[in-house]
């Protein structure tokens, strides 16, 4: 009697084991499949928030769409503004994953809040005028004309600081009719005819060629703007944020930036 019971118990154990083997294999396949999906995407899937300088508005929308296409399941949302505004947001603990500023000074001031920054692009300034250049502005010195309405970015804004730098170097005294919080606000004033001229990045003027003309500034009189990108230490998606920041230096991303008029880092 005891032998029969033992035999039945052994048979039941063998049957249970046989049933569990396919389930274990299935679970392994599902895990491997999930691992392969993550690997094929090139980065962990996440919803990323990137704080970016306003001069990157158009090009980053293109770059973000390209990144999402290359990394299915990842969504990139940008918050654009003056670099000094973005720095304040970071210091106040705004929920974000990465930061891209229009100067290294602002980024360096956030060293305790960011990972190691990488310069992803450079830019230069131009003089933006109304379409057709009705006031016949030809060079920086023309901006000092008493009848000319000139608008600049505020000096705490990177483009405002670059503007002051090149004007001071050339000993040109410009009295702006207003000082704006970011480069897009400067461009808008010129587009709307509220100012005759303004100093903006070359790439910003290129987004409004139907409304403004861009007067080149010689390299010897110009300033070079550098755009560093870094992850934020408070990010809840650090791996995905690192992947995005790293991607900005890839040939695909660099082509998007150079096609928009940015210079290579």
Residues 93 and 55 in one domain: yes
Residues 65 and 17 in one domain: no
Tell me what pLDDT residue 179 has: 97
Residues 19 and 70 in one domain: no
The mean of the pLDDT values for the chain is 88
**Rounded distance between C-alpha atoms, residue 20 and residue 15, angstroms:** 9
**Rounded distance between C-alpha atoms, residue 158 and residue 107, angstroms:** 11
Q: Are strands 98-100 and 224-231 parallel, antiparallel or unpaired?
A: antiparallel
Residues 92 and 185 in one domain: no
Residues 144 and 106 in one domain: no
Residues 68 and 52 in one domain: yes
Tell me if 113 is assigned to some domain. yes
Tell me if 265 is assigned to some domain. no
Residues 202 and 149 in one domain: yes
Q: Tell me the HSE value of 160 on the side-chain side, using a 13 A CA sphere.
A: 22
pLDDT tier, 42 (very low <50, low <70, confident <90, very high otherwise): low
Largest distance between two CA atoms of the chain: 115
Structurally, how many domains does the chain consist of? 3
End-to-end Cα, the chain, rounded Å: 85
Residues 231 and 217 in one domain: no
DSSP state of 72: T
Tell me what pLDDT residue 20 has: 39
pLDDT tier, 149 (very low <50, low <70, confident <90, very high otherwise): very high
**Rounded distance between C-alpha atoms, residue 152 and residue 136, angstroms:** 18
Residues 85 and 199 in one domain: no
Cβ atoms of residues 221 and 170 within 8 Å: yes
Please say if the pLDDT value at position 38 is more than 80.
Answer: no
Tell me what pLDDT residue 34 has: 37
Q: Which residues of 214-253 are buried (b: 16+ CB within 10 A; e: fewer)?
A: bbebeeeebbebbbbbbbbeebebbebbbbbbebbeeeeb
Please say if the pLDDT value at position 4 is more than 80.
Answer: no
Nearest one of 209, 259, 253 to 68, comparing CA atoms = 253
**Rounded distance between C-alpha atoms, residue 124 and residue 25, angstroms:** 59
**Interval 224-254: pLDDT, tens:** 999 999 999 999 999 999 999 999 999 999 9
Matching residue, tokens 């929920």: 95
Tell me if 264 is assigned to some domain. no
Tell me if 13 is assigned to some domain. yes
**DSSP SS3 for 121:** strand
Tell me if 244 is assigned to some domain. yes
Instruction: Give the DSSP letter string of 216-259.
Output: E--GGG--EEEEEEEEBTT-S-HHHHHHHHHHTTSHHHHHHHHH
Residues 51 and 116 in one domain: yes
Tell me what pLDDT residue 32 has: 37
Q: Give just the sign of the alpha carbon dihedral 244, 247, 249, 254.
A: negative
**Interval 61-96: pLDDT, tens:** 999 999 999 999 999 999 999 999 999 999 999 999
Tell me if 176 is assigned to some domain. yes
**Rounded distance between C-alpha atoms, residue 1 and residue 222, angstroms:** 100
Query: Which CATH number belongs to the domain containing residue 217 in this structure?
Result: 3.40.190.10
Residues 132 and 145 in one domain: yes
Please say if the pLDDT value at position 49 is more than 80.
Answer: yes
pLDDT tier, 33 (very low <50, low <70, confident <90, very high otherwise): very low
**29-33, 121-125, 190-194: least confident range:** 29-33
Residues 219 and 235 in one domain: no
Residue 63: give the domain boundaries: 47-122+226-259
**DSSP SS3 for 116:** coil
Residues recorded for the chain: 265
Higher-pLDDT residue of 24, 187:
187
């Amino acid at each position: 009697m005891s032998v029969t019971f033992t035999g039945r118990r052994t048979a039941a154990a063998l049957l249970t084991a046989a049933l569990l083997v396919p389930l274990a294999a299935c679970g392994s396949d599902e895990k491997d499949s999930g691992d392969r999906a993550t690997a094929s995407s090139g980065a962990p899937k996440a919803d990323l928030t990137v704080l970016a300088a306003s001069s990157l508005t158009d090009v980053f929308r293109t770059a973000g769409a390209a990144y999402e296409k290359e990394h299915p399941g990842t969504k990139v949302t940008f918050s654009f503004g003056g670099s000094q505004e973005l720095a304040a947001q970071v210091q106040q603990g705004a929920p974000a994953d990465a930061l891209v500023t229009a100067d290294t000074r602002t980024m360096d001031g956030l060293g305790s809040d960011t990972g190691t920054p990488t310069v992803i692009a450079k830019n230069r300034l131009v003089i933006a005028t109304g379409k057709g250049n009705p006031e016949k502005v030809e060079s920086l010195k023309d901006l000092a004309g008493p009848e000319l309405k000139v608008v600049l970015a505020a000096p705490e804004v990177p483009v405002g600081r670059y503007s002051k730098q090149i004007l001071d170097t050339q000993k040109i005294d410009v009295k702006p009719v207003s000082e704006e919080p970011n480069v897009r606000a400067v461009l808008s004033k010129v587009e709307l005819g509220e100012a005759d001229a303004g100093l903006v990045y070359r790439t910003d003027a290129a987004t409004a060629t139907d409304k403004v003309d861009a007067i080149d500034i010689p390299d010897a009189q110009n300033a070079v703007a550098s755009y560093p990108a870094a992850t934020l230490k408070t990010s809840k998606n650090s791996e995905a944020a690192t992947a995005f920041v790293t991607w900005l230096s890839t040939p695909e991303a660099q082509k998007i930036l150079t096609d928009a008029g940015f210079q290579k880092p």
